[in-house]
Amino acid sequence: MKTTEWSTARLREALGRLHVADATPLCVGYSGGRDSRVLLQGLVDLGWAPLRALHVNHQLQADAARWAAEAVHVCAALGVLCTVRTVEVTGRKRLGTEAAARVARYAAFREELNEGEVLLLAHHADDQAETVLLQLLRGAGLEGLMGMAASLPLGRGRLARPLLDVPGDAIEAFARTRNIPYIVDPSNADTRYRRNFLRLEIMPRLRRHWPRAGLAIARSARQLQRAHAVWQADRSGLSCARGDGALWLGAWRALDAPQALHALRQWIRQQQGPVLSERSLLALAAALHEEPRSRQQRIALEGGVVRRYRDHAWWGEAAGEAPGGSRDWEPPAPFDWPEAGLHWSVRETVGMGLAQERLRGHRLSVRFREAGARAFIGGRGHRPVKKLLQELGVPPWRRAQLPLLWDGENLVAVAGIWIAPAYRARDGEPGWLIEDKGQAPGGCEK
């Protein structure tokens, strides 16, 4: 990235990747220094609302009170309300001044954050590189080498860092081009502090040989975060996919951003979909996080389409029209209907599937739903098949594609999804499970 490339448009893109939707209430952790000042300016340029700032006065510098007053003044000039929180920094002998100040600062953040609000911090790629190097020099393990998270829960809201991919010189160029004044903390020049020593003495030497060293180290941290998320997901057996291939969005949205992208990529792969570009994957994730505009959302992507119904999503184009007519079938004989793509075999089981004693010797009819079709269901009388499929959560575009099993006018089963109570094998009772040779096993067990 060239130093002149960062802009407010890039800021909006970063917020989108962090699932910060328009009109999300934002609170900027505002020190008055260059980075937080540029971040706040970018949000003002975007016209973001609601927006406020929070300045933490650590009382560690002689000018601390003046900086707090200046923060309020600058924010007011930008039309942003700024709250000042004064804290007592304790435990300095035990933790060191930097660490103790951080503990006090984050405690204030947690207490001040409102319900559903997102706290934005201005840490950038160079800050991330310094964090990783400090952790490496401490002998940290994987979680330490991942550096700072781009997003994590905090108090009643969450914290997000939209500048982690942006180098410090790009932020400096933006401030210089816009002639944006900011506070310079003199303690930032004190190389007795380890982070300052890395920033002022070590990083410049690294950049003589590796000009993009900061970005490279930050990128490694991001890759470790993704790898860790994948490891956690696999270790926990985390799965958001149903047996019929649908993605359960409720469980998927509960994942953090790296886990969610991994789960989305794995789900599409399981549905025989293509390997999406990172841009398409991020766009899909953003769309699935948003409230759909219609009850049947359709998201077109390269190589396929995602359809959304209620709280689930399905991958793939809608199937063509189902064949007309019907076919007779007497289980447990195999069943083949090539025009419909049905090739069933039957497996004997106990306590699940179709009740053998109820169906032995019966000639069933296999057909697809027709408009206005009604079925008799024991204990429930005659009901529209459409209504039953709605209750089972079958999305509209799949309803005409599901084979139905009939015993006269009695609906026996919706293959792979549901069995009428009167035809369902009870505990300890012999049953038959229908298995489609071309798909994953389906037992009609619901």
pLDDT in the model for residue 442: 37
Do residues 215 and 222 make contact, with C-beta atoms less than 8 angstroms apart? no
Return the exposure string of 240-261: e unless at least 16 CB atoms fall within 10 Å of the residue's CB, then b.
bbeeebbbbbeebeebbbbbbb
Q: Please tell me the distance from the alpha carbon of residue 434 to that of residue 14, in angstroms, as a whole number.
A: 48
Do residues 131 and 91 make contact, with C-beta atoms less than 8 angstroms apart? no
**Secondary structure of residue 104 in the 3-state scheme:** helix
Q: Please tell me the distance from the alpha carbon of residue 280 to that of residue 315, in angstroms, as a whole number.
A: 14
Q: For residue 159, what are the β-bridge partners?
A: 119, 152
Which pTM was predicted? 0.55
Question: How far is Cα of residue 259 from the mean position of the Cα atoms in its chain?
Answer: 7
pLDDT in the model for residue 294: 63
Name the DSSP class of 397.
H
Q: Characterize the bridge pairing of strands 26-29 and 247-248.
A: unpaired
pLDDT in the model for residue 371: 74
Instruction: Tell me which residue of 188, 125, 209 sits closest to 161, measured CA to CA.
Output: 125
Q: Characterize the bridge pairing of strands 157-160 and 118-120.
A: parallel
pLDDT in the model for residue 372: 67
Residue that the structure tokens 């079958």 belong to: 394
pLDDT in the model for residue 29: 97
Q: Please tell me the distance from the alpha carbon of residue 279 to that of residue 264, in angstroms, as a whole number.
A: 13
Q: What's the longest Cα–Cα distance across the chain?
A: 93
Query: Going residue by residue through the chain (446 aa), what tens digit of pLDDT does each one get?
Result: 444 468 899 999 999 989 999 999 999 999 999 999 999 999 999 999 999 999 999 999 999 999 999 999 999 999 999 999 999 998 888 778 888 888 899 999 999 999 999 999 999 999 999 999 988 888 877 777 888 989 988 999 999 999 999 999 999 999 999 999 999 888 777 788 788 888 888 888 888 888 888 888 888 888 888 777 767 655 443 567 776 678 888 888 888 777 788 788 878 877 777 777 777 888 888 888 887 766 667 787 766 788 887 888 888 754 456 667 889 999 999 998 887 778 898 999 999 899 999 898 889 999 887 776 777 676 666 778 888 888 877 777 777 778 899 988 888 888 878 898 889 999 989 999 988 764 433 334 43
pLDDT in the model for residue 158: 94
Return the HEC string of 134-200: HHHHCCCCHHHHCCCCCEEEECCEEEECCCCCCCHHHHHHHHHHCCCCCCCCHHHHCCCCHHHHHHH
pLDDT in the model for residue 236: 42
Domains defined along the chain, listed by start: 3-230 (3.40.50.620), 240-315 (1.20.59), 326-436 (no CATH)
Residue that the structure tokens 């190097």 belong to: 133
pLDDT in the model for residue 2: 47
Residues contacting residue 407 through CB under 8 Å, at least 6 positions apart: 359, 362, 364, 365, 423
pLDDT in the model for residue 413: 87
pLDDT in the model for residue 237: 38
Instruction: Tell me which residue of 436, 439, 419 sits closest to 351, measured CA to CA.
Output: 419
Return the exposure string of 187-203: e unless at least 16 CB atoms fall within 10 Å of the residue's CB, then b.
eeeeeebeebebbeeeb
pLDDT in the model for residue 446: 38
Question: How far is Cα of residue 283 from the mean position of the Cα atoms in its chain?
Answer: 11
Q: Please tell me the distance from the alpha carbon of residue 158 to that of residue 116, in angstroms, as a whole number.
A: 7
